Amino acid sequence: MKHSELKKMVLSALFLALGLVLPFLTGQIPEIGSMLCPMHIPALLCGFFCGWKWGLLVGFVTPLLRSMLFGMPPMYPVAVCMSLELATYAVVSAIMYAKLPEKKSSVYVALITAMIAGRIVWGAARFVCAGLNVSAFGLSAFWAGAVTTAIPGIILQIIVIPVLVIALKKYTQSEQ
């Protein structure tokens, strides 16, 4: 195995572990803990640092594994839909970041595009899980789940992820 692939595998394991542990930390803030979307951050970071294949794996597995190990989030429909959402985050962030020029603004473009795509996939998955029934999961339920209740997490992601990506990319480039 090449050094770069081994590095991506180890980083992916770290992001998976963070995805399992971060909800315990944010859960200590009852009012907004789950609204901070703690599993989203490691999935997005995995996409930026490890590429779409590892990001897909980590994003897809994290909610399912967390549900199996700790019972949260509930497996169906929450963890199932989240696994598709987080996999989308990682894949889109990785592909967009690789295709865009190496500029600070590219991190924001890739991140915001991934966040929008992931939320659309989550909404589609929830709609399918609701039996394609608009009265069970309609536009207002989508808007509430994808945007309104997630505002603290969206703000956190837009602040924290670019700072980490830019700083760590700069650090790893100076190390080489």
What is the SS3 assignment for the chain?
Answer: CCHHHHHHHHHHHHHHHHHHHHHHHHCCCCCCCHHHCCCHHHHHHHHHHHHHHHHHHHHHHHHHHHHHHHCCCCHHHHHHHHHHHHHHHHHHHHHHHHHCCCCHHHHHHHHHHHHHHHHHHHHHHHHHHCCCCCCCCCHHHHHHHHHHCCHHHHHHHHHHHHHHHHHHHHHHHHHC
Neighbours of 69 (CB within 10 A): 9
User: Which CATH number do you get for residue 17?
Assistant: 1.10.1760.20
> In angstroms, rounded to a whole number, what is the distance separating the alpha carbons of residues 114 and 23?
21
Phi, psi of 149 (to 5 degrees): -75, -15
pLDDT band at residue 171 using 50, 70 and 90 as cut-offs: confident
- Whether pLDDT at 176 is above 60: no
Q: What's the pLDDT score for residue 102?
A: 87
Owner of token pair 């956190």: 156
> In angstroms, rounded to a whole number, what is the distance separating the alpha carbons of residues 33 and 144?
16
Range of the domain at 124: 3-175
Q: Which of 22-26, 50-54, 123-127 has the highest mean pLDDT?
A: 50-54
Give how many domains the chain has, as a whole number.
Answer: 1
For 77-129, the pLDDT digits (tens) are: 999 999 999 999 999 999 999 999 989 999 999 999 999 999 999 999 988 99
Q: What's the pLDDT score for residue 7?
A: 92
Q: What's the pLDDT score for residue 169?
A: 83
Token representation of residue 136: 């069970």
> In angstroms, rounded to a whole number, what is the distance separating the alpha carbons of residues 48 and 104?
13
